[in-house]
Amino acid sequence: MKWNDLKAHADDLAQRHLAELFQDDAQRFQRLHRKVGPLLLDLSKQRLNGDTLDRLTALADASDLRGWIDRMFAGEPINCTENRAAMHWALRAPEDSSVATPAVLAAVHGELARMARIVDKLHAGQWRGFTGEVITDVVNIGVGGSDLGPLMVSRALEDFAAPTPQGLQVHFVSSMDGSQVAHLLRQLRPQTTLFIISSKSFTTVDTLYNAETARTWMQRALGEDEAVVRCHFLAVSSAQEKVAAWGIAEENRLQLWDWVGGRYSLWSAIGLPAALRIGMDRFRELLAGAHFMDEHFRTAAWQDNLPVLMALVGVWNTNLLNIHGHAILPYDGRLKYLPSYLEQLEMESNGKSVTRDGDPVTTRTCPILWGDVGPNAQHAFYQLLHQGTEPVTCDFIAPALRYHEDVHTDAARELVRQHELALANCLAQSRLLALGEAALPEGEQMPFYKRYRGNQPSTTLMMDELTPYSLGAMLAAYEHKVFAQAVMWQINPFDQWGVEMGKKIATDTLAALRDGEAVSMDASTEGLLAFIRKPNT
């Protein structure tokens, strides 16, 4: 492998401060940024140089990245522990494309057409509840991939919300403890509310409990007639027989397939809430943006390949510079849920320590990700980024243009000024993180507690503007980045066995909690159970 070669190169570079790298090379931005479609990726604030990229692409080759990409797009069962293909890219392939088989494309586009019928009926104000009233509120019940993706996209594209005669609202319920659903049900009318139960396996207890609460609420108001569930419940799942058993009418079932992972599923019928927010045409633009990125990832040379470059830089930071914290910092409030979405995408995919061959990994894998809307995080955890002891890498994400859409005509000028302010902060923060005191006027002698050491690397990912297309392209870029990293770490990014066992143990614990049986567990759990049973003694 090429790791040793890279290690020597890293040791060289480790001595050099980012400020120095910028000083030495006036062409640094020219060399280290790439423009692809609506996106601009700036790697010049990473602690590397052009030479590094050459060496890293050699690592990609040595890891057979080309072969793995081909295998993924050929639909081979690269999810080896579950013996499944990973074909989320097929969800956004055009109907006439040749990347996927005709059978897969027919299934995907058939399901999109079913989605379109549902969206159109709701948007026309013609989806009727049990009493014949028009549905005004749709509640998505789902968790994880069935929640974060559609929620993030709905919020990100709120400026593209489709107008409807009844002012259709879309809500999201995910939390297991019922706090969201209880809050929401107080505000909604059963007669005008439609629920989407979204669960790939249709066994997720969080979702099924919330759905049961919703059904009981509905039936308490409208009675037990079978038409109550038919008029007020839809389901999206790959387990059609379980959906049928729950009582969902056939015309209200949407499906996805076992070759789509939950955290890669927002492009399927799981995206229905997002499609309800923005309309089917916009949803198809989102798919088109992602498809554009699929083609780019599949065909572009490593040096120009956005997802591959993002992956290589991640590997560089994690494995060569030993940086294990990664912050996602969108400078646009509409991307509020992007950090949570990427936390799941990256950490659930690459939070692994066993190789595809079943051996313990010899390198570190996924770093710890977290994040928030940048300007808000500036008042929270940026202190640690600037003056803490932990090295952290950051992704700064922002659209260049904003607020020129029709919806903003009234306050456009003021809002454009706010967007300019956010952009200025985005650039200033990444600059200060990189350069440290070198970014400040010269000759100012500071006390220690006021000093900025700098040298915190970051990537800036800009879009021309935040549209369905550019968002689709960006999200697909992150998906493929995660895949490319998994290839270099030799792990399977498409399973998630680490989240299974907890669910199982919870079932036993629930029995202990409800029945009060004395089950033999660890001393801590037994002590806590005792407190829960009698909190006031």
Partner 1 sequence: MHLDVYGDTLCALVTATAMASSGHHVVLRSPGGGRFAEAVQAGLSLYREPGLERLLQEQLAEGRLRWGALDEAPDADVRAIFLAFEPEHEPQARDVLVHLASHVAPGLVVINQSAFPVGTTEELQMLFPTGTVVCLPEFLQEGAAVQSFVRPARLLLGCDNAEAEVLVREVFRPFNRLSDHFLVMRPREAEFSKLAITGMLATRVSFMNDMANLADTLNVDIEQVRKGVGSDPRIGEAYLYPGCGFGGPGLSRDVLSLADTLQSQGISSELLAQVMAINERQKEVMFRKLWAHYGRDLNGKVIAIWGAAFKPGSGRIDNAPILRLLEALWAQGAVARVHDPEALPALAARYGEREDLVLCQQPYRAVEGADALMLVTEWKAYWSPDFARLQQLMRAPVLLDGRNIYDPAFVKASGFAYYGVGRQI
Q: Does 194 bind partner 1 (CB under 8 A)?
A: no
> How far apart are CB 221 and partner 1 at their closest, in Å?
13
Residue with smaller CB distance to partner 1, 133 or 437: 133
Residue with smaller CB distance to partner 1, 221 or 423: 221
Residue with smaller CB distance to partner 1, 125 or 351: 125
348 is catalytic: yes
Residue with smaller CB distance to partner 1, 124 or 424: 124
* Gyration radius from the chain CA atoms: 25
CA 143/CA 175 separation, integer angstroms: 7
Residue with smaller CB distance to partner 1, 133 or 159: 133
CA 160/CA 466 separation, integer angstroms: 10
Per-position DSSP letters for 284-341, written without gaps between them: HHHHHHHHHHHHHHHHS-GGG-HHHHHHHHHHIIIIIS---EEEEEESSGGGTTHHHH
Tally the residues of the chain: 537
> How far apart are CB 167 and partner 1 at their closest, in Å?
11
Q: Does 230 bind partner 1 (CB under 8 A)?
A: yes
379 is catalytic: yes
Maximum CA pair distance of the chain?
80
Return the range that interacts with partner 1 (CB under 8 A); candidates 126-134, 135-143, 150-158, 385-393. Answer: 126-134
CA 310/CA 308 separation, integer angstroms: 5
Q: Does 128 bind partner 1 (CB under 8 A)?
A: yes
Catalytic hit among 9, 348, 352, 479: 348
Which structure tokens are listed for 482?
């995660």
CA 433/CA 426 separation, integer angstroms: 11
Residue with smaller CB distance to partner 1, 49 or 191: 191
Question: Site for partner 1 (CB under 8 A): which residue of 81, 97, 126, 299?
Answer: 126
250 phi and psi, to 5 degrees? -60, -40
Question: Site for partner 1 (CB under 8 A): which residue of 62, 106, 113, 124?
Answer: 124
H helix or E strand, kind and range, residue 400: strand 393-401
CA 265/CA 151 separation, integer angstroms: 12
Q: Does 132 bind partner 1 (CB under 8 A)?
A: yes
Residues near 140 by Cβ (< 8 Å), separated by ≥ 6?
146, 147, 150, 151, 170, 171, 172, 173, 195, 196, 198, 272, 273
CA 404/CA 352 separation, integer angstroms: 43
Q: Does 409 bind partner 1 (CB under 8 A)?
A: no
177 phi and psi, to 5 degrees? -80, 0
Question: Site for partner 1 (CB under 8 A): which residue of 108, 135, 231, 236?
Answer: 231
Cβ pair 54, 61 in contact under 8 A: no
Question: Site for partner 1 (CB under 8 A): which residue of 131, 179, 201, 383?
Answer: 131
Upper half-sphere CA count for residue 128 (Cβ side, 13 Å): 5
Residue with smaller CB distance to partner 1, 167 or 441: 167
Return the range that interacts with partner 1 (CB under 8 A); candidates 4-12, 225-233, 439-447, 519-527. Answer: 225-233
Closest alpha carbon to 472 in 209, 267, 303, 184:
267
Q: Does 233 bind partner 1 (CB under 8 A)?
A: no
Residues contacting partner 1: total by CB under 8 A? 12
Residue with smaller CB distance to partner 1, 128 or 242: 128
Return the range that interacts with partner 1 (CB under 8 A); candidates 123-131, 151-159, 360-368, 404-412. Answer: 123-131
33 is catalytic: no
Return the range that interacts with partner 1 (CB under 8 A); candidates 46-54, 67-75, 121-129, 344-352. Answer: 121-129
Cα-based distances in Å from 227 to 26, 215, 219: 70, 12, 10
Helix, strand and coil content of the chain, in percent to the nearest 5, comes to 55, 10, 30
> How far apart are CB 126 and partner 1 at their closest, in Å?
3
Return the range that interacts with partner 1 (CB under 8 A); candidates 14-22, 74-82, 131-139, 452-460. Answer: 131-139
Cβ neighbours around 242 below 10 Å, total: 16
> How far apart are CB 168 and partner 1 at their closest, in Å?
15
Cβ pair 354, 361 in contact under 8 A: yes
CA 297/CA 305 separation, integer angstroms: 6
CA 499/CA 501 separation, integer angstroms: 6
436 phi and psi, to 5 degrees? 65, -140
Cα-based distances in Å from 65 to 36, 70, 404: 20, 9, 41
Catalytic hit among 226, 379, 500, 534: 379
> How far apart are CB 220 and partner 1 at their closest, in Å?
17
Residue with smaller CB distance to partner 1, 131 or 383: 131
CA 47/CA 393 separation, integer angstroms: 10
| Residues 461-490 contacting partner 1, CB under 8 A | none
> How far apart are CB 282 and partner 1 at their closest, in Å?
22
Question: Site for partner 1 (CB under 8 A): which residue of 7, 121, 364, 417?
Answer: 121
Cβ neighbours around 88 below 10 Å, total: 24
CA 252/CA 212 separation, integer angstroms: 17
> How far apart are CB 223 and partner 1 at their closest, in Å?
11
> How far apart are CB 234 and partner 1 at their closest, in Å?
15
> How far apart are CB 169 and partner 1 at their closest, in Å?
16
> How far apart are CB 344 and partner 1 at their closest, in Å?
37
Catalytic hit among 35, 183, 404, 503: 503
Return the range that interacts with partner 1 (CB under 8 A); candidates 132-140, 146-154, 447-455, 473-481. Answer: 132-140
Return the range that interacts with partner 1 (CB under 8 A); candidates 224-232, 333-341, 359-367, 523-531. Answer: 224-232
Catalytic positions are 348, 379, 503
Residues at the contact surface with partner 1, assessed by CB under 8 A: 121, 124, 126, 128, 130-134, 227, 230-231
